[in-house]
Structure 1
Amino acid sequence: MRDIAIIGGGASGLVAAITAARQGARVTVFERQSRIGKKILVTGNGRCNMTNINMKREHFHTASQKDCFLPIQHKDVEMTLDFFKSLGIERLVENTKVYPASEQASSVLDVMRMEIERLDINVRVDTKVIKLRPEGTKWQVWTETQEKYTFDRVIVATGGLAAPQLGCDETGYGLLKKLGHHQVPNFPTIVHIVSPTKYCKMMKGMRFKSEVSILVEDKVCRIERGEVLFTEDGLSGPPIFLLSRIAAESFAKKQSCKIHMDFMPDHSKEDLVAMIYERIGQGNHKNIEELFVGWLNKRAIMAIIKQADVGSPLAPCENLEYEMVEALAQSMKQLIFEVHGTRGFKFAQATVGGITLDEVNLETMESLKVQGLYLTGEVLDVDGDCGGYNLQWAWSTGFVAGEAATL
C-alpha cells in the first residue's frame, strides 16, 4: 500500500486524494489554510462552473510546445461529470457551461469532503509544507512547525497566485524549484483590464453588449462578443476576461495595447451612416446628443460624440456634415480604449505561467526531474479561458496524478 502526500487541498489536490485513496493508497492532504477547498467556493460566482461541454485544445494556453490537452483527453468531461454524479452532483448545463444542479459551489466541496471522510483520508489543515526531499525510494516532508513525515509519493497541488486572500502564494513554486524545476513567469488572467481612457469613468457601472477586439502593436490578436461592464479604472465582463491574458502579457512586455469596442457589431459603418441620416430626417430639430437618445445608453452617447470630435453635443444635428456623420458611425463601430495591463492577482481568477510542462510527463503528471513527484493543476504553466476550463484542467490532472502515483 502506497503512502501518498498531497500538498494543497484545492480542486486538483482533492480529486487526486480521492482517486489515490480509491486505488487503495493511504493519503494525507496538507493544507496551509484553515479549511480545504476555499477557492472552489468562489468559482463561477459561487455557482461553481465545473467544466464546459465545448472542451477543445484552443481554450488552453501554455509557453510549452507540449500538448497540454493530453491529461484532459485521458480524463475527459464525461468522466469528470460521472465522477461527480457518483458523489451526488447532478449537472445543470447553460449553453456549454456546466454547473451543479444546486447552483451552489458549496455542494461540490461538500460531496468531496464526504468522500474524503468515507475513504479515511487524513486531512491536515493549518499546516504549511516548507520542504520536500527524496531519500532513496521515499520522500521526506517537513512542515513549518518542523514536523517530518515519510511517504512513498508526493503530489504537489498548491495552485497558482490568483486570489491570494484565499491562500494562494509562491509556496508550491518554491518547493519545486528547490527540486530542480523551472518556473515560467506569472501574471494574472481572467481579470479586469485597466485603462486610463476617460470614457471608462464616464460610463462607470454601465453594461453594454458589444464586440471587443484587443490589439497589440496595432495587430488584432483576439475578438470576443458579450456584455462589457465599465468600471472606474477600466473594463470587465466575460469578453474582457477572455482578452485579459493578452492585456497582461503585453503590459509585461511593454508593448502597446488597445481595446476596440464595436457597439453595433451586426451593422456595417455604411449601415450606421444611413441610420444616422434617417434619424436626422425624422428629428432635425434635435441636437447631436438628442439624436442618439433611445438608440444608445446616454453615457455611451457622450463617449461616442467626444471620440468623433464633431464639436458640441448641443449643436443642431441638421448641421452635421457627411464627414461628421461618418466619424460618429466610426466611433460606434470602434470606440478606442488604451490598455495599461490588468488588475492584480487579488482580483484574478487564474494564473498565467508556473512550472514548465517541459519537465513533466503528461501521461502520468510525474516530474521528469525527480521520480515519485507529481504535479497537478494551476501550479503548472497552463491556463484556460473563462468558462470552466481551468477547473477541468485541475480535475483531469488530479485524476491522472492520483491514479499514477498509486502504481
Structure 2
Amino acid sequence: MRDIAIIGGGASGLVAAITAARLGAKVTIFERQNRIGKKILVTGNGRCNITNIDMGAERFHTASKKDCYQPVVSKNVETTLAFFKTLGIERLIEKTKVYPASEQASSVVDVLRMEVERLGIEVLVDTKVTKLKPEGVKWNVLTEANDKYTFERIIVATGGLAAPQLGCDETGYSLLKALGHHQVPTLPTLVHIVSPTKYCKMMQGMRFKSEVSILVEGTKVRTERGEVLFTEDGLSGPPIFQLSRIAADSFAKKQACEIHMDFMPEATKEDLVATIYERIGNGAHKTIEELFIGWLNKRAVMAIIKQADVGSPVAPCENLDYEMVEALAEAMKKLVFEVKGTRGFKFAQATVGGITLDEVNLETMESLKAPGLYITGEVLDVDGDCGGYNLQWAWSTGLVAGESVLQN
C-alpha cells in the first residue's frame, strides 16, 4: 500500500485524496484550517457552481505556452459529474452552469467528507506544513508543530491567494519554491473593479443589464454582457468579474485602462438619436432629465447627461440641438469609467498566476523538478472564467493526480 500525503483539504485535494484511496493508497490530508472544504462552501454564492457544460480552452488562462486545457480534456465535465454522482450529487443545470440539485454548496462538502471518512483517509486539521523534504525515494513532511511524517508521494493542493479569510495564503508557493519551482506573479481575479469615476457613486446600489467592454491603452480587449452592479468605489457583477483579470493585469503594468458601458446594446446610435427626437416630439414641455423617464433608470440618466455635457438636466428638452442629441445617444452607447485596478484578494474568487506550468507534467500533474511530487488546483498558474471553470480545473487536476500517484 502506497502512503500518499495531500497538502491542502480543498477542492482539488479532496478529489485527489478520494481517487487515490479508492485505488488502494493509504492517504493523509494535511489541512491548515480547522475543517476541510471551507472555500467550497462559498462557491456559487453558497450554491456551488460545480462546473459548466460550455467548456472550452478559451475559458482558461495562463502565462505558460503549455496547453493548460489538457487536464480538463483528460478528466472532463462528464467524468467530473460521474464522480460526484457516485457520491450522491445529482446535477441541476441552469443555462450552462451546473449546480448540485440541492442547490447547497454544503451538500458537496458533506458528500466529500463522508467519502473521506468511509475510505479511512486520515485528516489532520489545524496542521500547517512548513517544509517538504525528499529523502531518497521517500518524502518527509514537516509541520509547524515540529512533527515529521514520511510518505512515498506528495500532492500539493494548497490553493491560491483568493479569500485569505478562508485559509488561503502563500504556503503552497513557499513549499514549492523551496524545491526549485518558480512562481508567476499573482493577482486577484473574478473580483470587483475599482474606478474613481464619479458615476459609480452616483449610481451606487443600482443594477443594470448592459454590454461592457474593457480597453487597455485604447484597444478593446474583451466584451461581456450581463447585469452590472454599481458601487461606491467601482463596478461589480458577473460581466465585470469576467473582465477583472485584464483590469488587474493592466493596473500592475501601469497601463491606461477603461470600461465602456453600453446601456443599449441592441440599438445603434442612430436608433437612439431617432428615439430621442421622437420623445422630444411627444413631450417638448419636459426637461432633459424628464425626457428619459420610463426609458432609463433615473440615476443612469444623470450620468448620461453629465458625460454628454448638454447643460443642466432641468433645462427644456426642446432646446437640445442635433449635436446635443447625438452626444446623449453616444453616452448611452459608451459611458466611460476609468479603471484603477481591482479590490484585493479578500474579495476575489480566484488567483491569476502561481507555480508555472512549464515545470509540471500535465498528463500526470507530477513536478518536473521533484519526482514523486504532484501539484494540483489553484496553486498553479491557471485561472478560469467565472461560471464553474476554476472548480473544474480543481476537480480535473485532482482526479489526474489521484490516479497518477499510484503509477510507478
Distance 1:403 1:130 in 2: 26
Number of matched pairs: 407
Distance 2:46 2:406 in 1: 33
Render the CA deviation track for 1:94-114: whole Å, top value 9, x for unaligned: 000000000000000000111
TM-score by length of 2: 1.00
Distance 1:277 1:267 in 2: 15
Give 1:148's aligned residue: 148
Structure 1 residues 223-372: aligned runs within 5 Å: 223-372=223-372
- Partner amino acid, structure 1, of 2:268: S
Distance 1:309 1:109 in 2: 53
Distance 1:169 1:300 in 2: 40
2:201 is the alignment partner of 1:201? yes
2:41 is the alignment partner of 1:41? yes
Q: CA deviation at 1:155?
A: 0.2
Distance 1:276 1:355 in 2: 54
Q: CA deviation at 1:149?
A: 0.4
SS in 2 for 1:279: helix
Distance 1:69 1:331 in 2: 40
TM-score by length of 1: 1.00
SS in 2 for 1:310: coil
Q: CA deviation at 1:406?
A: 1.2
Give 1:177's aligned residue: 177
2:403 is the alignment partner of 1:403? yes
Render the CA deviation track for 1:253-278: whole Å, top value 9, x for unaligned: 00000000000000000000000000
Q: CA deviation at 1:351?
A: 0.1
Distance 1:64 1:214 in 2: 23
Unaligned 5+ segments in structure 1 are: none
SS in 1 for 2:64: coil
Give 1:131's aligned residue: 131
Distance 1:36 1:223 in 2: 37
Distance 1:136 1:302 in 2: 70
2:121 is the alignment partner of 1:111? no
SS in 1 for 2:354: strand
Structure 1 residues 77-88: aligned runs within 5 Å: 77-88=77-88
SS in 1 for 2:281: helix
Q: CA deviation at 1:212?
A: 0.2
Give 2:64's aligned residue: 64
SS in 2 for 1:28: strand
- Partner amino acid, structure 2, of 1:48: C
Render the CA deviation track for 1:321-347: whole Å, top value 9, x for unaligned: 000000000000000000000000000
Alpha carbon RMSD of aligned pairs, Å? Answer: 0.3
Render the CA deviation track for 1:138-171: whole Å, top value 9, x for unaligned: 0000000000000000000000000000000000
Residue identity over aligned pairs, in percent, reads 81
Unaligned 5+ segments in structure 2 are: none
Distance 1:76 1:147 in 2: 38
SS in 2 for 1:246: helix
Distance 1:406 1:346 in 2: 36
SS in 2 for 1:398: helix
Moved over 6 A (4+): none
Distance 1:282 1:55 in 2: 49
SS in 1 for 2:326: helix
- Partner amino acid, structure 2, of 1:186: T
Give 2:157's aligned residue: 157
- Partner amino acid, structure 2, of 1:298: K
SS in 1 for 2:304: helix
2:25 is the alignment partner of 1:25? yes
Distance 2:340 2:207 in 1: 21
- Partner amino acid, structure 2, of 1:162: A
